[in-house]
Amino acid sequence: MTLILDYEAGNLASVKRACKEVGLDAEFCADGDQLRHAERVIFPGVGAAGSAMRSLAHRGLDEALREVILRGVPVLGICLGLQVSLDHSEENDTPTLGLIPGRVRRFNLDRTDLKVPHMGWNEVVPCRPHPVLAGIDPGDEFYFVHAYYTDPKVADCVLARTEYEHSFASAVGYNSYIGTQFHPEKSGRVGLRLLANFAAWDGQC
């Protein structure tokens, strides 16, 4: 069973609808013990790092998530679900899960034609092959809405990049975890392709 983490971070219904579109049977999960039995996990999120971490800890989802990743269960983080997977976020000056070494930084834009948050469609350029990104080509655009971006310490963790004043990591992966700064569930055909890839992924790279 695929479990979609419910930690009061929103956007769950659209993720579940997109899963249904690609034939992925998914249920919401707000309990750490239930999460430990997952075969596949989607870690979505819309909100702030500080409140997200408090909710994850309150529900026992933080430690359970670390355990399933150690077991090699495939996990897909989306937006905030990616950001809180690194070590620390500048948003609320928050220590986060530490699944991937690195920090989350706020956009500080000098250009007056660019706004924060970064919102809308933008190109995602793969840096290296990954099963979940199969069939995603340079020029393919996904939907973004975020004021913070990931800055991983390990270059090999960066799977794709996007340009918004400067280049930033828009897909990050390590072992059985992959996270996207963009929202595949809001990205039409290419987003569904990515979700279908995740549905077939065994967690191996």
Tell me if 100 sits within 8 A of 83, measured CB to CB.
no
Domain 2-200 falls in which CATH fold? Rossmann fold (3.40.50)
- The pLDDT of residue 64 is 97
Q: What is the pLDDT of residues 49-103, one digit of tens each?
A: 999 999 999 999 999 999 999 999 999 999 999 999 999 999 999 999 999 999 9
Q: What is the pLDDT of residues 102-143, one digit of tens each?
A: 999 999 877 767 888 999 999 999 999 999 999 999 899 999
Whether omega for the bond prior to residue 101 falls within 30 degrees of 0, making it cis, is: no
Q: Which residue of the set 118, 146, 157, 183 is catalytic?
A: 183
Q: Which residue of the set 19, 29, 157, 185 is catalytic?
A: 185
Q: Which residue of the set 79, 91, 146, 157 is catalytic?
A: 79
Answer yes or no: 79 catalytic.
Answer: yes
- The pLDDT of residue 153 is 95
- The pLDDT of residue 205 is 81
Claim: this prediction has a pTM higher than 0.75: yes
Q: Give the 3-state secondary structure percentages of the chain, helix then strand then coil, rounded to 5.
A: 30, 30, 40
